[in-house]
């Protein structure tokens, strides 16, 4: 670390590019306390994706395999941003090579593999963290502050959904997202974020029930070229079966309060709708990822005749924004890409052994990543047992 921290990103797809950009911006956020960050390599088996991303985000080189990254002396910190089924092999190889690892959510596509990853991470000297981006979303963090300070007070009921539509067309091509065991579809892909946020706000869930998983489009055409993220590319006439869930729903008991959840990848018109309403003893709040620079707040503080939800535009008085945006003036807005920058900043601060220079929460441990997988697995179990209650 004498000449700073060398960074690499494995996977130059949809989220890999967000990680690549995030390391670029991380040292420009908050006080300049980070050691120099060297943007060293982007690795991807697809040379076109990898070389383009390396050039675009200012990385020194492109590598074609994760093993090249593991073997490189000039790399200290690595984001793993590939298909969930590939996380385990790559993460374990990197940790064995002494690299600090930030692995994308969910930890794996299987609970048994996630357990093994958490065990290995626990014994490893380098840091192993999971990329749940939404804890560093100012609106969500502010709602948590309102709950914990007593302004909203005790949570009574959480209602959340994460609706996406990347698979709503039957012509959306087959990709890794459609392969895997029950619960590895929409539930793992976007339900991982929603449940992580729900526990951030409401505390631990103690049981889930009413699980239901549905595959609504059962076959998809094989792509003629590489598929990045949710892109629609030219497809062949060959169809392959969809193995996992397009839609999932369940309800939950928290230690305090109840919740209901609905996630989808076939919700036409909702490209990225993570939204929830949390009802508390002194009022309620709404977050909607389509308008991430504001929240809606209802407080039981006025006569019912004139009381109602108010719009709160987020600014430097709210979490993470002061110093956390190049222009941190009121009303400048905040987006999901900014949250990737916050995540990279939090990870690099921890790797560098700095006290959190910002108020950003540390990235989730692999134990927390495993906990989230256990929760999702309980939902899948509930679904398999016709909606039965499953204790966590
Ligand atoms: N935090 C978030 O908001 C967020 C958003 C999207 C995706 N993700 C997560 O990021 C991960 C990747 O998702 P994505 O949408 O970017 O996928 P993607 O399909 O767009 O990209 C994956 C990339 O990995 C490359 N690849 C495949 N095998 C490889 C290998 N062996 N070595 C190196 N590269 C390889 C592919 O060529 C592709 O470029 C998943 O775990 C997903 O859950 C997180």
d(CA 167, CA 267): 8
- Give, using CA atoms, the residue closest to atom 5 of ligand 1: 15
d(CA 161, CA 156): 17
- Give, using CA atoms, the residue closest to atom 6 of ligand 1: 15
- Give me the torsion for CA of 114, 264, 335, 151, rounded to 10°: -90
Would you state the pLDDT for residue 357?
Answer: 61
The radius of gyration computed from the CA coordinates of the chain, to the nearest angstrom, equals 21
The pLDDT tens digits along the chain (392 residues) read 458 999 999 999 999 999 999 999 999 999 999 999 999 999 999 999 999 999 999 999 999 999 999 999 999 999 999 999 999 999 999 999 999 999 999 999 999 999 999 999 999 999 999 999 999 999 999 999 999 999 999 999 999 999 999 999 999 999 999 999 999 999 999 999 999 999 999 999 999 999 999 999 999 999 998 888 888 889 999 999 999 999 999 999 999 999 999 999 999 999 999 999 999 999 999 999 999 999 999 999 999 999 999 999 999 999 999 999 999 999 999 999 999 999 999 999 999 999 866 679 999 999 999 999 999 999 999 999 999 999 99
Dist. CA 46 → ligand 1 center (Å): 12
- Give, using CA atoms, the residue closest to atom 29 of ligand 1: 45
How is the chain split into domains, by residue range?
5-134, 138-291+293-330+370-384
Q: Is the CB of 11 under 6 A from ligand 1?
A: yes
Would you state the pLDDT for residue 358?
Answer: 64
- Give, using CA atoms, the residue closest to atom 37 of ligand 1: 46
Which atom of ligand 1 has the smallest separation from the CA of 16?
Answer: 16
Would you state the pLDDT for residue 238?
Answer: 96
Q: Is the CB of 82 under 6 A from ligand 1?
A: yes
Residues 6+ apart with CB under 8 A from 371: none
Residues 6+ apart with CB under 8 A from 146: 152, 285, 297
Query: Homologous superfamily of 5-134 in CATH?
Result: NAD(P)-binding Rossmann-like Domain (3.40.50.720)
Alpha-carbon distances of 187 from 27, 178, 223, 264, 306, rounded to whole Å: 34, 12, 24, 8, 40
Dist. CA 253 → ligand 1 center (Å): 32
Query: Homologous superfamily of 138-291+293-330+370-384 in CATH?
Result: Dihydrodipicolinate Reductase; domain 2 (3.30.360.10)
pTM of the model: 0.97
Would you state the pLDDT for residue 230?
Answer: 87
Which one of 16, 162, 177, 346 would you pick to mutate in the ligand 1 pocket, going by the greatest count of ligand atoms within 8 A of its CB? 16
- Give, using CA atoms, the residue closest to atom 33 of ligand 1: 44
Dist. CA 254 → ligand 1 center (Å): 32
Dist. CA 10 → ligand 1 center (Å): 8
Would you state the pLDDT for residue 232?
Answer: 86
Would you state the pLDDT for residue 227?
Answer: 87
Paired tokens of 185: 């579809």
Would you state the pLDDT for residue 355?
Answer: 80
Dist. CA 228 → ligand 1 center (Å): 8
Buried/exposed 360-384: b ≥16 CB within 10 Å, e otherwise? bbebbbbebbbbbbebbbbbbebbe
Which one of 22, 104, 132, 346 would you pick to mutate in the ligand 1 pocket, going by the greatest count of ligand atoms within 8 A of its CB? 104
How is 33-87 classified by DSSP, letter by letter?
-SPPEEEEEEE-SSHHHHHHHHHHTT-SEEESSHHHHHH-TT--EEEE-S-GGGH
Q: Is the CB of 109 under 6 A from ligand 1?
A: no
Which atom of ligand 1 has the smallest separation from the CA of 231?
Answer: 20
Q: Is the CB of 66 under 6 A from ligand 1?
A: yes
Contact indicator for 53, 12 with CB cutoff of 8 Å: yes
Q: Is the CB of 332 under 6 A from ligand 1?
A: no
- Give, using CA atoms, the residue closest to atom 15 of ligand 1: 229
């Amino acid at each position: 670390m004498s000449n700073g921290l060398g960074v690499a990103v494995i996977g130059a797809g949809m989220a890999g590019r967000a990680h690549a950009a995030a390391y670029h911006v991380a040292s420009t956020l908050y006080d300049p306390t980070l050691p120099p960050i060297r943007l060293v390599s982007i690795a991807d088996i697809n040379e076109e994706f990898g070389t383009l991303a390396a050039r675009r985000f200012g990385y020194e080189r492109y590598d074609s395999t994760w093993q090249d990254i593991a073997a490189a002396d000039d790399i200290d910190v690595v984001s793993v941003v590939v298909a969930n089924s590939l996380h385990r092999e790559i993460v374990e190889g990197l940790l064995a090579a002494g690299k600090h690892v930030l692995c994308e959510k969910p930890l794996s596509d299987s609970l048994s593999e996630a357990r093994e990853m958490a065990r290995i991470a626990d014994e490893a000297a380098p840091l192993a963290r999971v990329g749940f981006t939404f804890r560093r979303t100012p609106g969500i963090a502010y709602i948590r502050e309102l709950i914990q300070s007593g302004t909203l007070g005790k949570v009574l009921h959480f209602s959340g959904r994460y609706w996406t539509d990347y698979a709503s067309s039957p012509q959306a091509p087959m990709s890794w997202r459609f392969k895997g065991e029950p619960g590895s579809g929409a539930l793992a892909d976007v339900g991982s974020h929603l449940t992580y946020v729900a526990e951030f706000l409401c505390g631990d869930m103690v049981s889930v029930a009413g699980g239901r998983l549905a595959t609504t489009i059962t076959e998809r055409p094989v792509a003629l070229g590489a598929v990045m993220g949710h892109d629609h590319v030219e497809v062949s006439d060959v169809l392959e079966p969809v193995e996992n869930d397009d839609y999932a729903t369940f309800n939950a008991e928290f230690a305090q309060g109840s919740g209901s959840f609905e996630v989808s990848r076939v919700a036409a018109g909702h490209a990225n709708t993570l939204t929830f309403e949390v009802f508390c003893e002194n009022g309620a709040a709404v977050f909607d990822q389509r308008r991430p620079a504001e929240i809606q707040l209802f407080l039981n503080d006025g006569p019912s005749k004139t009381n109602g939800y108010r719009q709160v535009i987020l600014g430097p008085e709210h979490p993470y924004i002061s110093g956390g945006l190049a222009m941190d003036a009121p009303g400048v807005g905040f987006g999901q890409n900014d949250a990737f920058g916050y995540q990279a900043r939090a990870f690099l601060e921890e790797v560098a052994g700095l006290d959190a220079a910002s108020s950003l929460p540390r990235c989730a441990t692999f134990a927390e990543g495993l906990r989230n997988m256990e929760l999702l697995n309980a939902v899948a179990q509930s679904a398999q047992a016709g909606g039965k209650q499953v204790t966590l």
